[in-house]
Amino acid sequence: MQVILQLTKALGWLVNLEKSDLIPNQHFTFIGVVYDLQYQLMFPRLDRYLEIQKIIRHVLLVHTVSLREWQSLLGHLYNP
């Protein structure tokens, strides 16, 4: 790891150590998605999961759902 960090520095690249996880890990979050490489699974972040649950509960309780509400649900399901 130190060799790579020295090489990147010699090439003029700056490594943001605050944002970097330099210890290999099989369970991490990247771009809003939680990855579990050991079991080859991906999950939404907990806050996103709770928001999706809230929207689904609302859709199931009301008799009519607006286009905007459907779009919101689909957007939460599709976007990380």
What is the chain's pLDDT, residue by residue, as a tens digit (80 residues)?
A: 889 889 999 999 998 988 888 888 899 888 878 999 999 999 888 888 899 999 999 989 998 899 999 998 888 887 65
Q: What is the C-alpha separation between 59 and 47, in angstroms, rounded?
A: 19
Domain boundaries defined on the chain: 1-44, 45-80
Continuous segment of H or E residues that includes residue 57:
helix 46-61
Q: Is 72 helix (H, G, I), strand (E, B) or coil?
A: helix
Full-prediction pTM beyond 0.75?
no
Q: What is the C-alpha separation between 79 and 73, in angstroms, rounded?
A: 10
